[in-house]
Structure 1
Amino acid sequence: MVNLVMRLSLCFVVFAVICELGECVRTSKKIYVNLESVQGCFRRLNATHQIGCASKLGGNVGIIHNIETDEDLTWIVDYGPHAPYITIMSSLIFNVTNVQRLKDSGKVNGILVSHVVSNKSITPLPPDGFSPDHSCPLDAFGMYRNDSDYKNCKSVVWNPVGSSMMYQDFGIPIFVLQNETEVNSAIYDCYEKFNKPNPDGTSRKYPLCAAELKSGMFAAKDSVTCIRRTNHIVNLNVDQFCDPLGDQNVFATVKEISSEKSLPFDHVIVAAARIDSFTLFEHVTPSADNDITGLVTLLTAAFALSMSGAKESIQNSPDAKDIMFTFFQGEAFDYIGSSRMVYEMEKNRFPNTLDDTNVYLHPVNLSHISHLVEVNQLGFGERNLSIHTDPISRNSSQIDTQVKEMVTKLKEFGNEYDISVKLAGESQPLPPGSVQRFLLKRSIPTVMLTDHQREFTNQFYNSRFDLAENIKANYSESLNQSSEYDYVTPQAENLARKGALLAQFLYSLSTGDKTYISAVELEPMVTHMLYCFLYNGTCDLFQTVVDKADVEKLNEEPYPFYVSVARNTNYVSGLTKKLLAYFLGVQIEADNSDNCKAQNSTDKLYEYYWMQGPLDENGTRHGMCYRSTAAYSEAKSPVFLDEMSGYDWASGEYSSWTESTWDTFSVRLFLVPSEQFQMLTLGIGIAVLLCSHCLIFFISRKAGTIFSVPPPSPVSTAN
C-alpha cells in the first residue's frame, strides 16, 4: 500500500511539472483563438439610469456572422437559423439604427466592430459623419437648461450628426477590433471559411465558427443604487460595484499672489480648455479636433507669454490682472471638472483649504474673476476664428460693453496674424463649454473661440473618427520619427497663429497694452505637442518634462483622453501639468531630484518639479528643477463628497456619472460542432463515467486481494 501511495504521489508530481511547463494548456490553445487587440464598451450610470454594454458574467456566445451590407443584416434578422449570433460590423454600417435592429431581433448576443487604423487614419470614413453624443451635448447641465429661448438647442443644434448612441443601454457586449491581423482572422479564417452562407442564401452546415465575448458588469440600475450597494458593508471585504468618474483639473497662475496678500475683485482672467473626451470604447479616443486643438492652443499661449517676456511684464506690474490657465477634466460627462471648481470657489477654498501654519496661493472665488476665455474646437478653418458670446449676461450694459471690447481686440489681433475673426450671432447662445458652469453662478464677460459659427464643423465629435488626418495634422509615410517630430504640418501652423493671437489677447486683457509675439517662432513647439499628443507619447518633449523615474510610463501610442474613474489620475493630466510648469515656471538651482522635491514640504505657494531636461549636443540629459504655481485641483463631482450626504440626486444640479466595475474583458473564437456530434460526445462521456463507477465499485470490492501486502520477512535474532 505504501508503494502504491508513493507511485501515485510521483505521478502527481510529474503531472504538475508537465502542467507548469505548459503542456496542459495545449488543448485549450487548439480549441480557442484569443483576440488580444480589442477594446470593449462598458457600463456607466448616472442618477436615473444605466448606459453602455455588458455580457452575462460567464460571457455571451454566438455564431460569427459578418455584416457588410443591409442584405447581410436582413439575412440574420429574417432568416439566420443558428441564433444566437455574434456579428462583425464595419465602421460604415455600425450605427445606432442597425445595432438597435439587431438587438430587437433577439438573435444577436454581441457585436464586434472592425476599426483598423493604418498610419493613424481610417479609410473610408463614414461619409455623413458619426457622433455617438447627443445632438445637443451637455444641455441638461448647461446654463440654458431652464431658458425657454435656448434650452434643448432651440436656437442652434450644435451636433446635428449626434445619434445619442453613447447613451443607449444595449444589454449585450460590443467590442472593437483594432488589429488588422485579428480582423482578418475573424472574417476570413472564421466567418468566410466556416459560416458564410452558400451562394443560394442557405446556411452552412456544422462545424460553425463561434465567438465568446466577456464583459460582465457588476453595477446595475443607476448611480444612486450602485453607490448605496458599495457603501453597504456586509463583511470585511468591501464589494466595489462602481466608481465615480473623475480625475484632476490642471491650473497655473501667471502671478504668484500669496494668501498673505490681498487679491482685488475682478482681478483674475480665467483662460480655459478641456482635456477629456469620450467614445463608445475607452482607449479609442484620439480627439484630434475635439479637445487636443484647444488643449495645445492654450498651452501654446502660456509658452508664448513666457518666451516673449510678457509673463515677466505681467508679474512685475501690480495693476496687471492675473491670468489663470485652466484645463478641465471630465467635461464630457456633464461638466465634472468645471462644476467642482465652481463649487470650491463658492466655498472659498479654491485652490486650497488654508491653515495658519503655511502660505498658499491666494484663494480665488467667483468675485475675483474679471473675464472668462475658453478655447474649444479649433482644428478646422486654418485662417478663420469664430467668437461666441452669451446673450443673457450681455443684457447687462456693463458686461455688454466689456464683451464688445474683447471682440474688438480679438479682431484687431486677427488682422495681425492674417486670421479672419468673426462674431457669431449676438442672439446666439454659447456652444457647450466649461464657462457655462461659471455663468450659471455669476455674470462675467465671456468669449469662447471655436472653428465653427453655428453647428460643429467637426463631423466626428466625441467619436473614434476624430483623427489627426481630418485636421491636417498627419505625417507622410516617407518621414521617419525624427523628421516627423520637426515637420510643421498645416495644423501646426494654424494653431501657432491662434496660440499667438490668444497670447496677445490675454496679455492685452491683463495689462491694457500690446506686445510682440511671433507665430513662426511658436511653430516648433506646437509641432512637438501635436506629435506627442496625437502620435507618440515617448516623444522628446514629454521626455524633457518628466522625471527619470517616469520615463518608463511613457507610451509609444497616443494616450487616451477618457476621464476614467476618480481613484486614478489620467496620464494626460500629469503631462499637461508638467508642460504648464515648464512653460510658466522658473528654473532654480538643485543638484538632484531629492533636493528639488524636498522644497515641496516647506513651500506651499509653489510646486517643485524635477525634469530630465532637454538633450544636449552629446545626447545627454542633465536634469533641472522648476518652480511653478502649476497644480492639480479635484475634478470629481461634488455629489460624491461626504458633506453632500443630503443631496437630492434627482435635482440634476451636478454630474452623477459612475463607471461599473468588472472582472475581465475577453474575446475568443472557437468551432462549434453539430448538435448530433455534441450529443454523441455527451453519450460517450456518460458511458465513460458509468464504466468508471463500475470499475471503482469492482476495485473497492476486491481491494483486499488487489492491494494485499505480503507478510514481512522474519527478523534474525542471531548475534
Structure 2
Amino acid sequence: MVNEESKLEPTAHLSHDGICPNPNSDIYGKNCSSSYFWNEEGHILSNGLRNIDWKIQILYMDNATQITAIKKCHDLFNTPRDGSSVSFPFCAASFGAFNTGAGSTEICYRRSKPWARMFDLNIDNKDDLCSPLVGVNVMLYLPPKVYNETDVTHSTRYLVLSSRVDSFGLIPEISPGEISVITSVIGLLAAARAIGEQFESFERAAHTSNRHVIIAFFDGESFDYIGSSDVAYDLVKGEFPRILKSRLKAQLDPIAPSQLDGIIELQQLGTGDGKKLNALADGGQVDELQEMISSLSHGAAVAGGTIVHPTNTSRMPPSSWYSFSRISSSIRGIVLAPFREKYEYRRINSILDRAQWNVSQRSTAVSEVIVAASAILRVAADYVRLDAAQKQALKIDSEFVHSLIECFIDSADWFSCEFFNRINSGRFKPSSAFYSGKSTYVSAGYRNPLRFFVEWLATYAIGSVSYTSNVKDKKTCDDLGKDQNVYVYTWQADPRTGEYHCYRTPLDIHQVNSPAFRIDGAFL
C-alpha cells in the first residue's frame, strides 16, 4: 500500500472506524441507529475496516528508498514495452511479516489456523498467537491521598480529567492518531504542567477541601474502552488505585465509585476554529453540571475562547465516561471537543490520521489546544477550592504546548526532536525488527512508544525536585521509591536544559486489559 497523502482531499471519507464507534459498549443501546452516527462524515464502511478478511496480504510501506527500488524493479522487468507482452524473468520480492496487532479476536483466530501459519518460519511458532490486548494507563494523583487506617473511609471526593492515548487503522500498528489522540494528550499535559508549576498551593487547597483531581491517560479506549473499563472494574472491587498491602510503609488510599464526582475528557482538538469548544454531556445530567461548565467557560475565556453549553436533550459521544456510568449513574461526564452533533474530522482511527495543517491551520490548532487546556485547568482549580489569587497564578505554558506539537506532530517521528531526545535520553530506542514510527495502537506488547513519552512528560510536568535536590545519581533516586506506592522517583533529564534531576511524581502506571479476562466464566 503506497499513498501520496498530500493528494488526499480533506473532505474524503478516510476513517477506518465504523459509523458508530465502539457500538457494543454504547450506553444508549447496541443498535447503531442514525441518532448515534457520530462518525457519519468520516466512515468508509458502516462496520469499519478493522475486521475485514481481505483474502490477501496487505503491506504498508513508507520508506521512500524501498518504494523507489520496488518501482524501478517493476518498471524494468514487469512493464510491457512497445506493445509487446512481458515474459520471464519477472521482478518479484519475498518477505516475511509478523504483526502483533491483529485488530480483533476474529482476525487473530483466523491467523492462528494451521493453513494460515504454513510459512511462519521466521517467528516463534507458539500454539496460541491470540493474547489479550494490553494497554498502559498513566495516572496522576493531584495530590495523592495517602492511606490512613484511622481516617473516615471514602470521604474524599475526586474529579477525573482525561484523554485517550490509543487509536487504530486498517493496519493496526500504523496509527499516528494525531487528531484522534495526540492533540488531546497535549492539552491534558499542558494543564498538568500549569498545576505542577503551582503544585504546593494546589496541594494545600486539595487537602483543605478534601477534593482531589486525577489526570488519566486511558489506553485501549478505541477497543471498547479497555483502559477506563479496567479502572471501573477495579473501583467496584475496591482495588483502585492499588490493592492495600501490609508490607508498604505508605500507599494510596482506596477509592470507591461513590467518590467520583465526574470525568471531563478532551477529544479531537485541532479541528475547530481555535476559539469555540463544545461541552457535550448527557441531557439528564446537564442541571448537575452547571458549576463545572461555568468553570470551563471561565477558563476558556482566559485564553480567548468560549464554551457552548449542552442542552437537556444532548447525548454523550463515545467516551470513557461510558465505563464509569455503567458502575454508577451518579458519576457525571463532559466531553470537551470542537464537534457537536457529529464528528467533523474525517480521519478518526485511520492510518491517515495526520494533522497536515498549513501555517494558518496550525496556529488555529495551537490556540484550540490552549483554550481546552485553560478550560480544564480552571475546572481543576475551582474543584479543589483554590483561592482567587492562586487561580490568577495558574497559566498555560504556551511554549510547552508549541514544543509538544513540534515533536509529536511536526516531526517525522518521535525520535528526531531535540526536546524529546533529551527527555528520552536513550531509554526507548526505535526497533529495526518492528514498526517504530508514529503509532498509538494498543497491542499485545509494550512497544508503543507513546505511553513512554506520556509518562516522561507527565513526570516533567508534575514532578518535584525540591524534595530530592541532594540526589545526584540514578541508583539513589530509584532506591527512594521502595516500600511505598504514593510517588514514583525518576532519574530524568529536563527536556529544556538537558540537566538531570530526581523527580518525585504522584504518578502510577497501570497495565490494563479488558475486565472480561479477569471475570470467572466470562465468554471470550
CA distance in 2, matches of 1:330, 1:635: 8
SS at match of 2:32: helix
Give 1:268 deviation, angstroms: 0.4
Contact 1:133 1:167 survives alignment (8 Å): no
Give 1:299 deviation, angstroms: 0.8
Instruction: Note the alpha carbon deviations across 1:320-377, whole angstroms, 9 max, x for none.
Output: 5100000111111111111111111111011111122222111122111012111111
| Alignment-mate amino acid for residue 248 of structure 1 | V
Structure whose alpha-carbon radius of gyration is higher? 1
Unmatched 5+ stretches in structure 2:
115-124
Identity of aligned residues (%): 22
Q: 5 Å matches for 1:270-349? A: 270-308=160-198, 312=202, 314-315=204-205, 317-349=207-239
CA distance in 1, matches of 2:407, 2:159: 28
- Residue 563 (structure 1) aligned with residue 454 (structure 2): no
Instruction: Note the alpha carbon deviations across 1:425-482, whole angstroms, 9 max, x for none.
Output: 532321111111111111212111011012112111111222132486998xxxxxxx
CA distance in 2, matches of 1:308, 1:512: 11
Give 1:130 deviation, angstroms: 0.5
SS at match of 1:318: helix
Q: 1:550 is matched with which residue: 418, 422, 427?
A: 427
Instruction: Note the alpha carbon deviations across 1:59-117, whole angstroms, 9 max, x for none.
Output: xxxxxxxxxxxxxxxxxxxxxxxxxxxxxxxxxxxxxxxxxxxxxxxxxxxxxx1135x
SS at match of 1:440: helix
Give 1:198 deviation, angstroms: 6.8
Identify if the C-alpha distance between structure 1 residues 228 and 349 changes in structure 2 by more than 3 Å, giving closer, same or farther. farther
Q: 5 Å matches for 1:686-697? A: none
CA distance in 2, matches of 1:239, 1:314: 55
CA distance in 2, matches of 1:600, 1:152: 48
Identify if the C-alpha distance between structure 1 residues 314 and 281 changes in structure 2 by more than 3 Å, giving closer, same or farther. farther
TM-score, with structure 2 as normaliser: 0.84
Aligned partner of 2:91 in structure 1 is 209
CA distance in 2, matches of 1:188, 1:204: 15
Aligned partner of 2:2 in structure 1 is 114
Give 1:569 deviation, angstroms: 5.5
Q: 1:582 is matched with which residue: 460, 467, 481?
A: 460
Aligned partner of 1:129 in structure 2 is 13
Task: Name which of structure 1's ranges 495-504 and 406-415 shifts more when overlaid on structure 2.
Answer: 406-415
| Alignment-mate amino acid for residue 458 of structure 1 | Y
Contact 1:273 1:374 survives alignment (8 Å): yes
Contact 1:543 1:551 survives alignment (8 Å): no
CA distance in 2, matches of 1:266, 1:400: 24
Contact 1:156 1:454 survives alignment (8 Å): no
Contact 2:205 2:385 survives alignment (8 Å): no
Contact 1:577 1:631 survives alignment (8 Å): no
CA distance in 1, matches of 2:85, 2:499: 67
CA distance in 2, matches of 1:497, 1:518: 14
| Alignment-mate amino acid for residue 259 of structure 2 | H
| Alignment-mate amino acid for residue 498 of structure 1 | A
Give 1:307 deviation, angstroms: 2.1
SS at match of 1:624: strand
Aligned partner of 1:526 in structure 2 is 401
- Residue 172 (structure 1) aligned with residue 56 (structure 2): yes
Give 1:516 deviation, angstroms: 2.1
Q: 5 Å matches for 1:479-558? A: 489-511=363-385, 514=388, 515-516=391-392, 522-534=397-409, 535=411, 536-546=414-424, 548=425, 550=427
CA distance in 1, matches of 2:480, 2:93: 56
- Residue 467 (structure 1) aligned with residue 369 (structure 2): no
Aligned partner of 2:505 in structure 1 is 628
CA distance in 1, matches of 2:430, 2:99: 28
SS at match of 1:632: strand
CA distance in 2, matches of 1:221, 1:137: 18
- Residue 447 (structure 1) aligned with residue 334 (structure 2): yes
Task: Name which of structure 1's ranges 308-317 and 340-349 shifts more when overlaid on structure 2.
Answer: 308-317
Contact 1:255 1:315 survives alignment (8 Å): no
Identify if the C-alpha distance between structure 1 residues 513 and 375 changes in structure 2 by more than 3 Å, giving closer, same or farther. farther
Contact 2:15 2:349 survives alignment (8 Å): yes
SS at match of 1:541: helix
Identify if the C-alpha distance between structure 1 residues 310 and 624 changes in structure 2 by more than 3 Å, giving closer, same or farther. closer
- Residue 193 (structure 1) aligned with residue 76 (structure 2): yes
Give 1:533 deviation, angstroms: 2.0
The number of residues matched between the two structures is 492
Task: Name which of structure 1's ranges 323-332 and 404-413 shifts more when overlaid on structure 2.
Answer: 404-413
TM-score, with structure 1 as normaliser: 0.63
Give 1:571 deviation, angstroms: 2.6
SS at match of 1:175: coil
Contact 1:304 1:500 survives alignment (8 Å): no
Contact 2:226 2:514 survives alignment (8 Å): yes
Task: Name which of structure 1's ranges 320-329 and 425-434 shifts more when overlaid on structure 2.
Answer: 425-434
Aligned partner of 2:254 in structure 1 is 363
CA distance in 2, matches of 1:577, 1:414: 26
SS at match of 1:155: helix
Identify if the C-alpha distance between structure 1 residues 311 and 183 changes in structure 2 by more than 3 Å, giving closer, same or farther. farther
| Alignment-mate amino acid for residue 275 of structure 1 | V
Contact 1:142 1:437 survives alignment (8 Å): no
CA distance in 1, matches of 2:112, 2:96: 24
Alpha-carbon RMSD across the aligned residues, in angstroms, is 3.2
- Residue 152 (structure 1) aligned with residue 44 (structure 2): no
Identify if the C-alpha distance between structure 1 residues 293 and 282 changes in structure 2 by more than 3 Å, giving closer, same or farther. same
Identify if the C-alpha distance between structure 1 residues 315 and 586 changes in structure 2 by more than 3 Å, giving closer, same or farther. farther
Aligned partner of 1:596 in structure 2 is 477
Aligned partner of 1:638 in structure 2 is 515
| Alignment-mate amino acid for residue 392 of structure 2 | Y
| Alignment-mate amino acid for residue 435 of structure 1 | W
Aligned partner of 1:385 in structure 2 is 277
Contact 1:533 1:558 survives alignment (8 Å): no
Give 1:557 deviation, angstroms: 7.3
Aligned partner of 2:494 in structure 1 is 613
Instruction: Note the alpha carbon deviations across 1:491-526, whole angstroms, 9 max, x for none.
Output: 33331232122201221123175512676x611101
Aligned partner of 1:423 in structure 2 is 309
Identify if the C-alpha distance between structure 1 residues 440 and 471 changes in structure 2 by more than 3 Å, giving closer, same or farther. farther
SS at match of 1:167: coil
Contact 1:289 1:471 survives alignment (8 Å): no
Q: 5 Å matches for 1:7-18? A: none
CA distance in 2, matches of 1:343, 1:177: 40
Give 1:123 deviation, angstroms: 2.8
Higher strand share: 1
Instruction: Note the alpha carbon deviations across 1:97-155, whole angstroms, 9 max, x for none.
Output: xxxxxxxxxxxxxxxx1135xxxx63334652301111100121121235xxxx41432
CA distance in 2, matches of 1:599, 1:516: 34
Contact 1:135 1:157 survives alignment (8 Å): yes
Contact 1:537 1:559 survives alignment (8 Å): no
Aligned partner of 1:102 in structure 2 is none
| Alignment-mate amino acid for residue 49 of structure 2 | M
